[in-house]
Structure 1
Amino acid sequence: MDVTALMLSRIQFAMTVSFHIIFPAFTVGLAAWLCLLEAMWMATGKPVYRSLSDFWRTIFAVAFGLGVVSGIVLAFQFGTNWSELSRRTGAIQGPLLGYESFTAFALEASFFGVMMFGRNRVPRWAYLFACLMVALGTTMSAFWIMVNNSWMQWPVGYRMLPSGVFEPTDWNAIIFSSVVWVRFPHMLMAAYVTSAFCIAATGAWHLLRGRFKAEARIMLRMSLGLAAVLVPAQLIVGHLVGDYVHDKQPAKFAAIEARWEDEQPASEVLIAWPNEKTESNDYAISIPYLGSLIASNSLTSREVGLKNFPVADRPPVLVPFFAFRVMVGCGLLMLALAWYGCIQIGRQRLEHQRWLLWATFLSFPLGFVTTLTGWYTAEVGRQPWTVYGQLRTADAATPFLSPGQVAATLILFCVVYTVIFSAGVVYIYRLLRRGPAAPESEGSEGTNLKRPLSMAGDSDRGTEALAAGEGRS
């Protein structure tokens, strides 16, 4: 296989976006969690909620910073590696990214400092309001990115000029596209579920170590309870996303299903090894009729195969086929864990089942894996198009780039990202290991609780101090 500048540019963008997406997937949900903790503290007055809020706020700040830094690189690549995409779609994508800056970044920049440093300087209601604005900002940032990406997945509200430039004609159609309003909730709930399992894993970890038991119980109860509701909702919304893919991107849908021939009724390939050379599946295990039921809610529908599309217009099959199944498999694992965990919490048996605590602790990567594989399914399945059906990826790249130039920046990015990621992970691990700090005493309105001295990793005085406020079950 020839190593071209186009291939290296695609690898570079895939690497940087894969690194970047894990941070919004964590911080969007974590910002909402901080708002909930602050609201619970104001409503109940229990110091445990304040302690957890301070604990997760620092972790949020680190992850938020890493997400901002890694996201800047993506913006530069549109100019360096994908200048034709910028030139031809800039009239649409430029304003959408501008809306993100004017709304999401403005909110985050205005209230992030208050959230981080205003605990002792503003009233409780103002501090909660700052947390809400930061959470709204992270959500709006995700919204505008999904509007942008959804337009590339299914372009609407434009006309093509003779120069090949996309000119917007209907911003309402672009922003309120039906594709946006299934993909955005899908991404938002993915972020919430990812955060929920990270929080649950942290609670399970501290219970396994016998530390910060009051905080750990709250983390487990609230996060697993939230996941028990959100995961099935996510599966339903994911089915709606599949409906849009089925109707508007039939080649992608066929690749996800590894369906080569038209079938009526269509079977569902559970697992196989798609062979693009022979245009068939090796070692396939299929269920009759299920493919039609999933695709069209019918047992007799006719489903389109990949052979209906020219080879040049087909996406790669291996990546979307396996990525989709990994995504669904992780989702089902999270659903089983959340439901069973909630049952055991209701029976007050969770702490006595160490295998379940270990399973919860080890589940922390599932949300990230699900988000990444879902993203790979969407983006690789869109190929060979950057703007679906209108602009090919090969035509969107910067002309005259040499493989050596792209390879040099790719290596540089890999080194820098490895250093940044490693440092960030180590620091977040240390924060998680240290655990939450317990407030010592309540101050007056606008003057918050004192920071304790018992922050050392091997001290459990935080848990003991909170026992009176939260109780032990």
Structure 2
Amino acid sequence: MSAIDSALMAARSQFAITISFHIVLAALSIGLANFLMVLEGLWLWRGRQIYLDVYLYWLKVFALTVAVGTASGLILEYQFGLNWSRLSTQAGDILGPLMFYEVLAAFFLEAGFLGIMLFGLKKVGPRLHFFATCAVAFGSLISAFWILSANSWMQTPAGYAVGADGRFIAENWWAIIFNPSFPYRLAHMTLAAFLGTATLVGGISAWQLLRSPRNPRTRLQFSMALWMIVVLSPVQIVVGDLHGQHSLKFQPQKIAAIEGSWTRPPQGAGEPLRLFAIPDMAERRNHWEVAIPRVASLYLRHDLSGTIAALDEFPAENIPPVPIVFFAFRFMVGLGLLMVAQGLTSLVLRWRQRLYEARWMLRGCALMAPAGFLAMLCGWVVTEVGRQPFTVYGLLRTADSLSSVSREQVIGSTWTILVFYLLIFGTGLWVLLRILREPPHKDEAWPQPTLADETGQS
């Protein structure tokens, strides 16, 4: 491996580490913000204290998530200048404004109204406080809108021209923002954030119910989480199918890698569903393949005889790392099917009026707590690794996006980031576990401002 390839792999690994931490926190903040909005709306509508108690309980978790997520986001942003300066130079005219609007939404809406959410109920009144909660929830979605627009443009670039110096120049901002893959990715990622939050809230609630099964507040949050899983998990499957159909049109190499399809089947034979295989990049074939004939044709072409372009139809240098994409996709789908089963099981138990008493279900939900976010991370791996070897798909290769850095420099900065993450995330996790070890109580205490806030001193 050459020095450039070594530095490239180190930089990609560093970005994978930082994005994995940040994307979970960002998605959790989106899900919790909207969960809090629903809880406070129900409190104002029905006037029941139980909704406010659950709201105040998760408000503390949300504030912690935003604080830690902001720290991880700053490190992620710095990498564009440190490790990926050529990408910033080539595509900065397009990516810069999109990311600026994301930061604008995050800080002016989310951070601006978060203080009112935490400390403002007795000062501004319930209705204006609810407006602040809605503003934070809406701000989290706007933030996701802009960051996904930027990332989607890198997947399906549109509305650009290439200048004499090779830089991408914006020509049509509507085409750039609403690029071909953006609607699918926005819907898919938003649903993933909601489902990840639902499985986490449901799992934590299930663990709390195993210890205090009669707590009505824990039952409420458990029930709401499971309703979210029931409604959204089938919708996510439909959106995922539409997203896959779109990717088949614009990124056929990615779909071929997902399916582990090295050669096109004979005419009329259909595309098999490969349940398991060990893809071999060197020999360009699969080992230990277990497949069901024709089944993949149903969801790829919606018939039993359709096929897709196979990996041997593309230049070898343009094929993504097949094993990573192949297995990540199957983990994502497997976890998604488990969430569907979790939702259907909860419906049966509700009908039998045993939802809160079935301890096997509570244990299963507790084990499923990280499932939504693990599925989201697997999906992100499929999306980003499947785009390789390009940063701007088909136009700018990842190797040409790297800064003039050495492997040693990248590894050194990676260790620095990991130490910082150990401190920040370790502290955040310790505080989170202290909050979650007790279920929400009656008349849950409102977060208290500092002495400086109370006296008006800075």
TM-score, normalization by structure 2: 0.94
Code of the aligned partner of 2:400: D
In structure 1, what is the equivalent of residue 280 of structure 2? 275
Structure 2, gaps ≥5 residues long? 449-458
- Taking the aligned partners of 1:115 and 1:360, their CA distance within structure 2 comes to 30
Q: How do 1:416-435 residues align onto structure 2 when only pairs under 5 Å count?
A: 416-435=420-439
Code of the aligned partner of 1:138: S
In structure 2, what is the equivalent of residue 42 of structure 1? 44
1:423 positional shift: 1.7
In structure 2, what is the equivalent of residue 439 of structure 1? 443
- Taking the aligned partners of 1:406 and 1:153, their CA distance within structure 2 comes to 25
After superposition, the C-alpha distances for 1:374-421 in whole angstroms (9 at most, x for unaligned) are 00000000000000000000000102x111111110111112212222
In structure 2, what is the equivalent of residue 293 of structure 1? 298
- Taking the aligned partners of 1:34 and 1:451, their CA distance within structure 2 comes to 15
1:200 positional shift: 1.0
CA contact (8 A) 1:274 1:317 kept: yes
Confirm or deny that 1:342 pairs with 2:338. no
In structure 2, what is the equivalent of residue 163 of structure 1? 165
In structure 1, what is the equivalent of residue 311 of structure 2? 306
After superposition, the C-alpha distances for 1:284-340 in whole angstroms (9 at most, x for unaligned) are 111111122221112222311101111111100011100000000000001101111
* Closer, same or farther: CA 437–122 of 1 in aligned 2, 3 Å: farther
- Taking the aligned partners of 1:324 and 1:191, their CA distance within structure 2 comes to 17
Give the alignment partner of residue 414 of structure 1, picking from 415, 418, 424.
418
Q: Secondary structure in 1 aligned to 2:157?
A: coil
Structure 1, gaps ≥5 residues long? 441-448, 453-473
CA contact (8 A) 1:202 1:432 kept: yes
In structure 2, what is the equivalent of residue 176 of structure 1? 178
1:451 positional shift: 8.6
Code of the aligned partner of 1:133: A
Aligned CA RMSD, in angstroms, stands at 1.6
CA contact (8 A) 1:108 1:138 kept: yes
Q: Secondary structure in 2 aligned to 1:358?
A: helix
CA contact (8 A) 1:202 1:219 kept: no
In structure 2, what is the equivalent of residue 353 of structure 1? 358
Query: Aligned pair count?
Result: 443
- Taking the aligned partners of 2:83 and 2:100, their CA distance within structure 1 comes to 20
In structure 2, what is the equivalent of residue 461 of structure 1? none
- Taking the aligned partners of 1:176 and 1:414, their CA distance within structure 2 comes to 35
Q: Secondary structure in 1 aligned to 2:180?
A: coil
Q: Secondary structure in 1 aligned to 2:124?
A: coil
After superposition, the C-alpha distances for 1:426-445 in whole angstroms (9 at most, x for unaligned) are 211110112223228xxxxx
1:345 positional shift: 2.1
Q: How do 1:4-23 residues align onto structure 2 when only pairs under 5 Å count?
A: 4-23=6-25
- Taking the aligned partners of 1:204 and 1:6, their CA distance within structure 2 comes to 43
- Taking the aligned partners of 2:157 and 2:329, their CA distance within structure 1 comes to 23
Q: Secondary structure in 2 aligned to 1:315?
A: coil
1:196 positional shift: 0.8
In structure 2, what is the equivalent of residue 27 of structure 1? 29
Code of the aligned partner of 1:140: I
Q: How do 1:147-226 residues align onto structure 2 when only pairs under 5 Å count?
A: 147-210=149-212, 213-226=215-228
After superposition, the C-alpha distances for 1:138-184 in whole angstroms (9 at most, x for unaligned) are 11111111000000001000011121100011111111223110110
Q: Secondary structure in 2 aligned to 1:121?
A: helix
After superposition, the C-alpha distances for 1:204-253 in whole angstroms (9 at most, x for unaligned) are 11210016610111112111011101000001001111111111001111
In structure 2, what is the equivalent of residue 101 of structure 1? 103
* Closer, same or farther: CA 312–208 of 1 in aligned 2, 3 Å: same
- Taking the aligned partners of 1:43 and 1:292, their CA distance within structure 2 comes to 49
In structure 2, what is the equivalent of residue 284 of structure 1? 289
- Taking the aligned partners of 1:267 and 1:450, their CA distance within structure 2 comes to 56
- Taking the aligned partners of 2:432 and 2:105, their CA distance within structure 1 comes to 28
Code of the aligned partner of 1:120: K
- Taking the aligned partners of 1:110 and 1:411, their CA distance within structure 2 comes to 33
1:201 positional shift: 1.2
- Taking the aligned partners of 1:346 and 1:413, their CA distance within structure 2 comes to 49
After TM superposition, the structure 1 stretch with the greater mean CA deviation from structure 2, 73-82 or 200-209, is 200-209
Percent of residue pairs identical: 41
1:102 positional shift: 2.8
After superposition, the C-alpha distances for 1:79-110 in whole angstroms (9 at most, x for unaligned) are 01000000010000001011113334311132
- Taking the aligned partners of 2:46 and 2:274, their CA distance within structure 1 comes to 51
CA contact (8 A) 2:119 2:447 kept: no
In structure 2, what is the equivalent of residue 59 of structure 1? 61
Q: Secondary structure in 2 aligned to 1:336?
A: helix
In structure 1, what is the equivalent of residue 456 of structure 2? none
In structure 1, what is the equivalent of residue 146 of structure 2? 144
Give the alignment partner of residue 368 of structure 1, picking from 369, 373, 379.
373
After TM superposition, the structure 1 stretch with the greater mean CA deviation from structure 2, 388-397 or 22-31, is 22-31
Code of the aligned partner of 2:380: W
After TM superposition, the structure 1 stretch with the greater mean CA deviation from structure 2, 366-375 or 406-415, is 406-415
Q: Secondary structure in 2 aligned to 1:299?
A: coil
* Closer, same or farther: CA 65–212 of 1 in aligned 2, 3 Å: farther
Q: Secondary structure in 2 aligned to 1:197?
A: helix
In structure 1, what is the equivalent of residue 337 of structure 2? 332
Q: Which runs of 4+ in 1 moved over 6 A?
A: 449-452
Q: Secondary structure in 2 aligned to 1:285?
A: strand
- Taking the aligned partners of 1:290 and 1:170, their CA distance within structure 2 comes to 41
- Taking the aligned partners of 1:346 and 1:34, their CA distance within structure 2 comes to 27
In structure 2, what is the equivalent of residue 227 of structure 1? 229
